[in-house]
Amino acid sequence: MEVRIETIEAILVDLPTIRAHQLAMAVMQRQTLVIVRLRCSDGIEGLGEATTIGGLAYGEESPEGIKLAIDTYLAPALAGQDATNVRAALARLDQVARGNRFAKSALETALLDAQGKRLGVPVATLVGGAVRTRLPVLWTLASGDTARDIDEAEALLQARRHNTFKLKIGRREIAADVAHVARIKQALGERARVTVDVNQAWNEADAAGAIARLEAAGVDLIEQPIPRANLAGMARLAARFVVPIMADEAVCTPEDALDIARLGAADVLALKIAKSGGILEMTRTAAVGDAAGMALYGGTMLEGSIGSIASAHGFAALPRLGWGTELFGPLLLKDDIVANPPRYDDFALQLPAGPGLGLTLDEDKLEFYRRDGAPGPR
């Protein structure tokens, strides 16, 4: 029996964060998820999510733009297509739209979720099989206040939820940022790993000075210290310091990974399904990095449960994942739109075992938080 894609709905969902989350380019008080519901002729529905950070401040696609691209171009291109052939559906999307990787990632997830439900297997099985079902997860300290960050880290260590902490810096003067990081590392000592993410905020000369001090303070990893376009500068920093340099904004596609490998522009690659255009493309990017001897890290766009668990299925199937993941998005959000939120314990995220993503929508919550829903208290 042929199974066709019937309808695709893209829904903007606004969820509050548990506290302000400060990054170099934006302060988040809420997160906007773009949720995709893809319905097929056999009655099966697939879920997907495209989420970015700070509207257009971080990436090149905004939540509203992602919805527009899906509604206007991508959903019509998929209507009537074979729902069981994910690669063919993705090829069709590439025919009608260049780029738009976040939107394509959400659609790919929804197709894989539907196909997994149809076959009774998890998404990780569809992409080759999980080599791990527990994924180490770090937590980002980004309240903007050093003492509060230390308290937060202590509580999470105590609860055995996280033992690696990523500090978002690049918003303030370098001296203030370095002092902030050094105080946190000193307070946590050998009990936790501390990494920093600069989100491209420094120039190369400033980065060289700052990294020397961060390295001396015991920081374990430096993420995207300078603009993504300055790969030569990243290569010079990677050669100069022992502390590993991680590429995030600089690596979206397999071709980016190849350029980074050729130049030696990073020691570690941050992978994300959204910036890659889906799990399958993320896996290709990972393969290039892996072949070049770079370590891999499972990154987040601070997605909710659907996007985070989709990422988890993809990362679970990578042969090597030396730096673990940062799939903590659902924990940063005050509420959830799935009925069975992801489980975190013993410093790891548990991969759901059910078919597809292994998630069930909470229709009432979705109704409550969707932007176009009935007006009411939020």
Please choose which of ligand MUC, Mg ion, none residue 326 contacts, taking the beta carbon within 5 to 8 angstroms, the exact cut-off set by kind: ligand MUC
**237 to 266, contacts with Mg ion by CB under 5 A?**
248
Site residue total, Mg ion (CB under 5 A): 3
Please choose which of ligand MUC, Mg ion, none residue 300 contacts, taking the beta carbon within 5 to 8 angstroms, the exact cut-off set by kind: ligand MUC
Residue closer to ligand MUC, measured from CB, 5 or 247:
247
How far apart, in whole angstroms, are the C-alpha atoms of residue 233 and residue 239? Answer: 10
Q: Residue 50, CB half-sphere, CA atoms under 13 Å: how many?
A: 34
Shortest-Cβ-distance residue relative to Mg ion: 248
What is the residue-wise DSSP string for 86-116? HHHHHHHHHHH-SS-HHHHHHHHHHHHHHHH
How far apart, in whole angstroms, are the C-alpha atoms of residue 357 and residue 365? Answer: 19
Question: Does 303 interact with Mg ion (rule: CB under 5 A)?
Answer: no
Question: Does 197 interact with Mg ion (rule: CB under 5 A)?
Answer: yes
| Helix residue ranges per DSSP H, the chain | 63-69, 75-78, 86-96, 101-119, 123-126, 146-158, 174-188, 204-216, 231-240, 254-263, 273-276, 279-291, 305-316, 329-332, 363-369
Please choose which of ligand MUC, Mg ion, none residue 168 contacts, taking the beta carbon within 5 to 8 angstroms, the exact cut-off set by kind: ligand MUC
Q: Residue 56, CB half-sphere, CA atoms under 13 Å: how many?
A: 5
Tell me whether residue 326 is one of the annotated catalytic residues. Answer: yes
Least spacing, CB of residue 108 vs ligand MUC, in Å: 21
Please choose which of ligand MUC, Mg ion, none residue 302 contacts, taking the beta carbon within 5 to 8 angstroms, the exact cut-off set by kind: ligand MUC
Tell me whether residue 303 is one of the annotated catalytic residues. Answer: no
Please choose which of ligand MUC, Mg ion, none residue 362 contacts, taking the beta carbon within 5 to 8 angstroms, the exact cut-off set by kind: none
Residue closer to Mg ion, measured from CB, 90 or 294:
294
Place of tokens 């100069």: 240
Which tokens go with 263? 């130049």
If we measure between CA atoms, which residue out of 150, 174, 142, 131 comes closest to residue 313?
131
Least spacing, CB of residue 64 vs Mg ion, in Å: 23
Least spacing, CB of residue 73 vs ligand MUC, in Å: 27
Least spacing, CB of residue 168 vs ligand MUC, in Å: 6
List, edge to edge, every strand of the sheet that includes 45-51.
Answer: 5-22, 27-40, 45-51
Q: x/- site string to Mg ion, residues 88 to 107, per CB under 5 A?
A: --------------------
Least spacing, CB of residue 251 vs ligand MUC, in Å: 12
Q: What residues line the site for Mg ion (CB under 5 A)?
A: 197, 223, 248
Catalytic residue numbers? Answer: 168, 326
